Amino acid sequence: MTADSTPDLLDSIELETGPNPTHAVIWLHGLGADGNDFAPIVPELRLPAAPAVRFVFPHAPVQAVTINGGMHMRSWYDILVMDLVRQEDAAGIRRSEAAVRALIARENARGIPTSRIVLAGFSQGCAVTLHTGLRLPEKLAGMMGLSGYLPLLDLAAAERQAANADTPIFLAHGDYDPVVNIARATASRDMLRTLGHDVRWHTYPMQHSVCAEEVADIREFLLQVLK
């Protein structure tokens, strides 16, 4: 961060489906990956030429990850224990929230309002997406959480903003995920629904990954919300 505590803008991969984009998708990768991880999904989505969409795939900072023996890798926050519940890196999650807010502000400065932005993420990126989306004071077009969970679950009700109370949330998970147990995802789904959020829940016969059926469902969701 700079001296005035403004987060440095993360380096990103950017792909545009057409000239002069009017909508954006900010898509966060998982632990140990980088912004290149999901870039190949853009042509697979087969989105129409209009409206033109800018896909932003930021690179998470490199930091030590406790569960991996302190190894340094790209990570949105530290993972302290395997069950993802007993201890959470709240400070790290909030730093990533600030970084995502800065990316949203850049899209705003480039002429794309928050109401035409979808936040998306896989695994750790899903966690930061849901955490940030609930706390934004401006309405998003949608949120997509893949193979992840809502972190700091006990704080969600108190800290969420009203702006995204009815924003569509696409949640998807593998039935056999060995990394983020589906029980963690269903607990997140149930909490969001209890709070009144519009959750579109999908499961697939897969592990901690993405499948063709899921890509098709993501496409349909984006066609609905990117209008």
Residue tagged active-site, from 37, 131, 177, 197: 177
Is 208 catalytic? The answer is yes
Known active-site residue 12: no
Long-range contact list for 108-112, CB < 8 A, 24+ apart? Answer: 111/22, 112/21, 112/22, 112/23, 112/24, 112/54
Beta bridge partners of 170: 144, 200
117 forms bridges with which residues in the sheet? Answer: 24
C-alpha to C-alpha distance for 2 and 104, rounded to whole angstroms: 18
Q: Among 34, 37, 96, 123, which one carries the catalytic annotation? A: 123
Q: What is the C-alpha separation between 101 and 175, in angstroms, rounded?
A: 32
Structure tokens at 48: 């129409």
The pairing of strands 117-122 and 142-146 is parallel
Q: Does residue 23 carry a catalytic annotation?
A: no
Tell me how far the alpha carbon of residue 106 is from its chain's centroid: 17
Catalytic residue among 59, 198, 202, 208: 208
C-beta separation of 192 from 131 below 8 A = no
Task: Show which residues are catalytic.
Answer: 123, 177, 208
